[in-house]
A and B are shown apart, each in its own frame.
Chain A
Amino acid sequence: MSDLAEKADAAITKPPPWNDPFIRSIFFQIVAIGLLGYFFYSAFENTLSNMSKSGISTGFAFLGREAGFGILMSLIEYDETHTYGRTFFVGLLNTAIVAFCGIILATILGFIIGIARLSNNWLISKLAGVYIEIVRNVPLLLQIIFWSVAVLQALPGPRNSMQLGESFFLNNRGLFLPEPIYGDGFGIVVIAFFIAVAGTIFLKRWAKQRQEQSGDQFPVFYASIGMLIGLPGLVFLILGMPLSWEYAKLGRFSLTGGTNIIPEFMALLLALTMYTAAFIAEIVRSGIQAVTHGQTEAARALGLRNGPTLRLVVIPQAMRVIIPPLTSQYLNLTKNSSLATAIGYPDLVSVFAGTTLNQTGQALEIIAMTMAVYLTFSLTISAIMNWYNKRVALVER
């Protein structure tokens, strides 16, 4: 091709700059950034001027001031004399623990109900269906209120607690457990436990290698359990049992001493578990149904029984379909735990974005911190589930 033709070609295909997709896209992106920048700038300016005008104080200095109010449940040490900053961590941990327990219990219950929905027992399958249809279609807020009333009404007063021996009490003030008091040298027991964990991992690798080479199976499960319990137990006995228990006792109004799981926690956990489990059940059902029948038939043909078929063939394949929607259910559960404020469970929204906000009036900082926490939780859960999803994803050639 001659130079001339090349030039002519270029002249034809080269559009004017305002029609060049590349230049256009650059232009639009700059406009978008500009608009966004202007939006944030003006919102920021307005906020500053509005706040100084109405005399609202700004900054994070309030976090260092004394809170002066009590919190019902705290995983870390807390009383009225601690700071507002500490109320943040108390709330955060309370949210984290209820979300964590909720995720685990909802997954278990959800799998059970999802499998029950596919049961060949007509009644069980229908019951699971009715459960799913009722629970999914009623607002969670109402369910939380329902469970809080139900839990409180089902439990007896502190004077007639249900009890198991002299150490466990259950009443409408909560579940009272003996509190462990660690003696000298208990740290060594903990170290022994971690050594056992390391040993278990090593054992599992070794057993896998051996199975691949020789085909012999090693009872890894029982051996690990034995190691995990035996090693720390042995150390514990040798050291002369450096652990004692403090039991709850009946006081003037209620039981005192020991540790206490408050009924609000149980009610919230129940509500979140039951609600999310209904969604998980549907996810599990459709996940299992998505595994083609041929897979089950093939497993049968290989001589696998019902249990191993489900465990080794169906569930691992169903997992690929289940994981992505399951992740969003976990995220929903975590965010939904913020409804705790309705029944008095001291979660982050109730304690920090509730009482602390009411008392300091610093809405901007507090809401920003609260949202940041939920965002972090969400992104963390997403990250973990994505990592797990990658592991179970179909590896194709």
Chain B
Amino acid sequence: MFQKTLGVIAAAGAVAIMSVAANAGTLDDVKKKGMLSCGVSTGLPGFSLPDKTNKWSGLDVDVCRAVAAAVLGSAQKVKFTPLTAKERFTALQSGEIDILSRNTTWTHTRDTSLGLNFAGVTYYDGQGFMVSKKLGVKSVKELSGAAVCIQAGTTTELNLADYFRLHGLKYKSVVFDTSDQSIKGFESGRCDVLTSDQSQLYALRTKLAKPGNAIVLPEIISKEPLGPVVRQGDDQWFNIVKWTINALINAEEFGITSKNAASMKSSKNPGIQRLLGTKDDMGKKLGLSNDWAANAIMQVGNYSEIFERNVGKGTPLNIARGVNALWSQGGILYAPPIR
């Protein structure tokens, strides 16, 4: 009897609140909601973190804003869902979010067996090591027997184990749940080494009382291409996200910025015209309006602007472009042309 009552209550509640996602494509869904649901990290400096006006900001966040600007015409129409490492793929699979932009490494397993598609790379990262200067260590290979602080992640722990085993080094891993805990562990001397994606090491170093006392070792032991992820089986949506990223990179190549995008529309360069929607129907082919890329660039900026604003030289993270520079400037960012 009680179970029955419970069941009725639960069913009524479920019917009232459950939103049954249409079987139509993600694009129609997003347009109908007028809102892009974007999964981000719960707090990762430079990538997704609530800023001092209590709004999400960061590189991963800006990728979502760019997609929202391209699809809905406004970079503000994003609903951010903070996700932990464990939840992120289920949230995408179950349709809770439309795009996962959460510092996620593109790997073979994830791409093939989790029902996911990686839409591109927005930041090329790699796993690095930070040690205290007074240890006098110059290379990872001298770290045998060290205690290593790690943040509980998916690939970091495995990379570490693989690398140390390959080189016959011994180690003890101290696994922390949050970055704040791991930097505390490092600072108090609980471990000799802190390992994480290099972008994070720079961010964490700023949290030390004396940042100058720690150095980031030059070795990078893994490739961590980070990028946004979408569900498999919706090619149109996959294309939209993929080409929004390409548009941001192409915009940097053409020198289009958020400031000059409006005036650039009258440019004679056919490549710029195609990108900004004044020539050919590039947006139509994606199922969007032709000013999709122009909207994204004007409201969020090109790749360079996004990078510099969130992780670049002017920020506390102070990361150089490095491999994340354009292919023409010594990096490996190479977006296919929009034509």
Contacts and interface: CB of A to CB of B under 8 A. Distances in A.
Q: Do chains A and B touch in the complex (CB under 8 A)?
A: yes
Interface of A: 28, 31-32, 35-36, 39, 50, 53-57, 68-72, 80, 145, 148-149, 152-153, 157-158, 172-173, 251-254, 256, 263-264, 341-344, 346, 350, 354-355, 357-359, 361, 363
Contact of B152 (A57, A172, A358): A358
Given A57-B113, A70-B157, A355-B157, 14 more contacts: A31-B4, A32-B2, A32-B3, A55-B113, A68-B158, A69-B157, A70-B160, A70-B172, A80-B161, A152-B188, A251-B145, A343-B177, A343-B181, A363-B86
Nearest to B85: A358
B308 interface: no
Interface residues of B, number: 45
A157 B172 contact: no
B152 A354 contact: yes
A358 B181 CA distance: 19
Contact of A53 (B115, B135, B145, B158): B115
A158 B161 CA distance: 24
B145 A344 contact: no
Contact of B114 (A32, A55, A72): A55
B184 interface: yes
B83 to A, nearest CB: 13
26 contacts: A31-B1, A31-B4, A35-B7, A54-B115, A56-B115, A68-B161, A69-B157, A69-B158, A70-B171, A72-B174, A80-B161, A148-B181, A148-B184, A149-B188, A152-B189, A251-B145, A252-B144, A252-B145, A253-B192, A254-B146, A264-B174, A342-B177, A343-B177, A344-B177, A346-B175, A350-B152
Contacts of B147: 173, 253-254
Among B90, B145, B160, B189, max chain A CB count under 10 A is at: B189
A54 B161 contact: no
Nearest to A35: B7
Contact of B154 (A153, A173, A252, A358): A358
B56 interface: no
Contacts of B188: 149, 152-153, 172
B154 A359 contact: yes
A264 B184 CA distance: 13
A150 to B, nearest CB: 10
A36 B4 CA distance: 9
B86 A357 contact: yes
A263 B174 CA distance: 11
Nearest to A255: B145
B31 interface: no
Contacts of A70: 157, 160-161, 171-173
B259 interface: no
A251 B172 CA distance: 14
Contacts of A72: 172-175
Contacts of A263: 190
Nearest to B84: A358
Contact of A69 (B146, B173, B182, B184): B173
A153 B162 CA distance: 31
B174 A344 contact: yes
Contacts, number: 120
B184 A361 contact: no
| Nearest 4 interchain pairs by C-beta | A152-B188, A54-B115, A54-B93, A32-B3
Contacts of A148: 181, 184
A23 B144 CA distance: 74
B55 to A, nearest CB: 27
A28 B190 contact: no
A359 B158 contact: yes
Contacts of A357: 86
Interface string B304-328: 0000000000000000000000000
A148 B181 CA distance: 9
A126 to B, nearest CB: 33
B80 to A, nearest CB: 22
Contact of B4 (A35, A71, A355): A35
Given A57-B113, A69-B173, A28 B184 contact: no
A343 B149 CA distance: 11
Contacts of B161: 68-70, 80
Contacts of B176: 343-344
Contact of B184 (A54, A152, A363): A152
Contacts of B145: 251-254, 256
Contacts of A158: 189
Contacts of B45: none
Interface in B165-181: 165, 171-178, 181
Interface in B97-152: 113-115, 135, 143-147, 152
A354 B175 CA distance: 10
A53 B285 CA distance: 29
Contacts of B114: 54-56, 361
B115 A55 contact: yes
A223 B113 CA distance: 67
A258 to B, nearest CB: 14
Contacts of A68: 158, 161-162
B185 interface: yes
B47 interface: no
A171 to B, nearest CB: 9
A264 B2 CA distance: 45
B153 interface: yes
Nearest to A157: B189
A18 to B, nearest CB: 15
